[in-house]
Structure 1
Amino acid sequence: MNIKIKQLIYGANTVRRYGVQACSTTHRCKLLVVGGGTGGCSIAARFARKLRPDDIIVVEPSKVHYYQPLFTLVGAGIKKFKESHRPQCSVLPKNIRWIQDQVVEFDPCNCVVHTCAGDKICYEYMVVAVGLENDYDKITGLKEALDDPKSGVSTIYSPHYCEKTWNNIKCFRGGHAVFTFPTTSGKCSGAAQKIMYLADDYWRRHKKRHLANITYATAGKAIFGVEKYATSLMRVADNRRIAVNYCLDLVELTKIGAVFVDDAGRTITLPYNLLHVTPPMSPPADLRRCTELVTDAGYLHVDPRSLQHQRFGNVFGVGDCLSTPNSKTAAAVSQQTAVVEKNLISVMQSKEPKAEYNGYGACPLLTSYSKGILAEFIYDKKPFETFPFDQSKERRLLYHIKTKVFPYIYWKRMITGKWDGPGKIRKIINPFGK
């Protein structure tokens, strides 16, 4: 029987190997990549060009790969949901082994992981890229409200609810619209504001804005973590008549409204007609359980510069699950994967890792359906801009970069391991920029 691509299913476990099929209770590899998101795909692609086909295993349970930054554009009606995802098999390199399963136990002392299906994977080197999960249960009543099509509650931080966000914005008839941001760090903090500014602009364009009161309730003490961009965003909020409330953390949804706790421990309830929630987030529980690998907060404990694990030299990490104090964005992953590629190759050659990650992150903040701000920064919240103009000012160019250029870079360059970030471009057009 001639089969070009074979699939063998054992319980919940599918092992896909392009060209040749291999499936057993125990798997062995030189490089194990845990997670098939942005970071995992990029690392797999980079090393697929350097190692033999049998050397790399990627463990990822999902059949679908999402470009998560596009969820904001879906929630604002700018893009269709079908544009935000592709089959996982189409974004992974063809000459690696994909185990469609989930790692449920890490054993770094023995260089082994165990999967949900009961398989054992032995590795020489491991890159952890499992991302973050939405902790809906930390806000009482949130999951039920998200699942209720008539609740007016949504979030663009999930493929399951971003289309509901667009429906809520379109069908809004007026009243109080509340947008929240939690006390725990998570994916792209700016997305919570982007959808708010876009909703505001949509209602203005459709003559509904005078019917709405908009509140941004953030658990932080500033509207944005980098002062330069915070100043610009406060100007945008003031000009749009958006009320910004600080130190308010959403803890419960009731029939009366959204219940917040302030920094003094007092509860405040805000009634709403539309509520967009940024849920608390954390690394997956399976990673958090491995105390040898994680910090007290549950993040992979890596050196913030080399991205090598602080205890296990054969383990590296990329993406949102890291303990590094950078902004959790796709732009950060592009530079992290380049650093890990260089340092992991050095370790494989018994050399000291020398490449350094500077904490780079970027957040393209759409402020309307025609303009945006592009925040770029490194460790210590220092601006680190690519263009030779002030990116904190609203510009039409930055809107088009977010909606057209970045999706192209993501699908064609980033997850194929061919994008190290805008560093080379910056050296040419803005060598002295800050």
Structure 2
Amino acid sequence: MQIVPHSDRFASAGQITPDDVARIAAAGYRSIICTRPDGESGADQPTSQDLRTAALKHGLQFAYLPVKPGQITASDAERFAQLLDDLPDPILAYCRSGNRATTLYQLAASPAAAQAPSAPAVLPACDWDGAGFDIVVIGGGFAGIAVTASLLRRQPYLNIAIVEPADHHDYQPAWTLVGGGVYDAKKTRRPMASVIPEGVKWIRAAATRVEPHNNLVRLDSGETVTYRDLIVTPGLRLAWERIPGLEETLGKHGVTSNYCYDLAPYTWQLVEQMKAGTALFTQPVMPIKCAGAPQKAMYLACDYWRRTGVLSKVNVEFNLAGAVLFGVAVFVPPLMKYVERYNAKLAFSSNLVAIDGPSRTATFETKDANGKVARVEKRFDMIHVVPPQVPPDFIRDSELADEGGWCEVDHATLQHPRFSNVFSLGDVCSAPNAKTGAAARKQAVIVAENLLAARGGKPLAYRYDGYGACPLTVERGKVVLAEFGYGGKLLPTFPLNPTRPSRFMWFLKASVLPRFYWSGVLKGREWLTRAGRD
């Protein structure tokens, strides 16, 4: 159980158990709100009645306000606000991951945001009438919102729907900074309603199947959505379950990951508390989103331990499933200087395959120079895990998928090679670029221009060069900004030595880019996109 405080009177958490209630009471909480419907995930989920009984036993108030994923209404927010007024505080609200509880709190705290004139038309799956759209966008993450905003800048009259079940939108690039103790997690999350572009229909449901021959998307509610053009941007899936023992130990026993909103603060807690022992960091088989993030977690942790004088007492090891530290060779020497500075051990061809949290033991599958595979157990006091990452099931099993399960696209135009009215961008598309937010920012312009050209019967003139960027935070206050395209070609934005750690790039990463994200990219502002034409 990882508790995330949002104010002095409210916190959220993922699923709790009756055994957790004693700890919640000991932490000073006086009330619990359950926002997860009973039976949502089967018999392993404790019932609200079981938790009510445990809460009353420890002198806590308990309230049950069940909300389905992606279907929070204004009425739900009002009822939640009333509970915040009625129940004794501090209050802890929980659901499966903590997301619904957090969103309800945000909406209850700012009800005007959900009712503002510019708010999107929200169409829950249960209210869906089956009407078609000019364009359907699957996914309300960075790529989906950015490309929608770019389309509307060019043709404001387009009838667009975004299919997205989540109630919130996250600025994920800052989670590494949260794990390094230099950024507030709450600043990385906003209600989804606040980022959906004005005039766009938001369908609060999950896509479960795409039928490109019928121009149709099936939803988890049983309804369908039809389109003239489709943009596929659901991102990728974090496959925590592929590492046995990981899911049940995340957020405790020293096991953490900056790839999860709820866990990034726990990373910092572990780093701050570490005075001696073994710290393991992992990187799975590629592709993953932000390939530099696994080592950024290590650098920021080591820098803190160096500054506080305990680094010499911490055994740091970075286990990589691959054979190189970074995929673009020119950036390896400056990164190796920091690996040596922090006296970190690199274990190449070492892939995490199992973890036992209570015994603090991680099992790695290793491969030697002769290809011999072995399993090695390593003890840890803390471990930062990056999970395997795979295409969403409904894309992998569809006609849109390539051999690897990703949404197949022409690497230059980002148009599907077999279905001309389908485009894709972001982490799910098959283009062999680094899966970063910077790549999606560039791709959004390419897709907007080319899709509109295709609608008008014109040639697709815009070409994606594979641009991606990875701000490698090698220490607090310095960043190596790796910008590159297809084939590792360097594509620097600024006239500076890209391999040199820079304070300016730190300022860009920590201060400028978050503001640019919320107020620029998501609003359709396309500064420095360098969209190329034939």
TM-score norm. by structure 2 comes to 0.74
The reply on whether 1:279 has 2:387 as its aligned counterpart is yes
> Deviation string for 1:144-192 (max 9, x for gaps)?
1204x2x101000111211111111111131111100001311101011
Q: Is the 8 A contact 1:337 1:420 kept in 2?
A: no
Distance 1:10 1:26, change over 3 A: farther
Tell me which amino acid in the other structure corresponds to 1:155: S
Work out which of the two has the higher radius of gyration on C-alpha atoms and give 1 or 2: 2
The aligned residue for residue 206 of structure 1 is: 308
What displacement does 1:52 show? 5.6
The aligned residue for residue 231 of structure 1 is: 333
Of the candidates 315, 318, 322, which is equivalent to residue 429 of structure 2?
Answer: 322
What displacement does 1:106 show? 0.7
Q: Highest relative contact order (Cα 8 Å, sep 6+), 1 or 2?
A: 1
Matches within 5 A, 1:374-385: 374-385=481-492
Of the candidates 230, 239, 249, which is equivalent to residue 126 of structure 1?
Answer: 230
Matches within 5 A, 1:25-424: 25-51=129-155, 55-147=159-251, 149=252, 151-254=253-356, 255=359, 257-263=361-367, 264-290=372-398, 292-419=399-526, 421=528, 423=530
> Deviation string for 1:3-50 (max 9, x for gaps)?
xxxxxx999767999576774331210000000000100111122334
The aligned residue for residue 54 of structure 2 is: none
The aligned residue for residue 3 of structure 1 is: none
Tell me which amino acid in the other structure corresponds to 2:236: L
Structure 1: 4+ residue segments shifted above 3 A: 9-25, 49-54, 420-424
Specify the SS of the correspondent of 1:26.
coil
TM-score norm. by structure 1 comes to 0.91
Q: Is the 8 A contact 2:311 2:342 kept in 1?
A: no
Tell me which amino acid in the other structure corresponds to 2:341: N
Distance 1:206 1:47, change over 3 A: same
User: What is the number of residues matched between the two proteins?
Assistant: 413
Q: Is the 8 A contact 1:176 1:214 kept in 2?
A: yes
Distance 1:26 1:207, change over 3 A: same
Distance 1:423 1:284, change over 3 A: same
Specify the SS of the correspondent of 1:49.
helix
Structure 1 vs Structure 2: percent identity of aligned residues?
33
Specify the SS of the correspondent of 1:123.
strand
> Deviation string for 1:31-81 (max 9, x for gaps)?
000000001001111223344667100000011000000111111111111
What displacement does 1:423 show? 3.4
Unaligned runs of 5+ in 2: 1-66, 74-113
The aligned residue for residue 5 of structure 1 is: none
Tell me which amino acid in the other structure corresponds to 1:269: E
2:481, 2:68 → 1: CA distance?
A: 47
Q: Is the 8 A contact 2:355 2:363 kept in 1?
A: yes
Unaligned runs of 5+ in 1: 1-8, 425-434
Q: Is the 8 A contact 2:165 2:204 kept in 1?
A: yes
Distance 1:167 1:340, change over 3 A: same
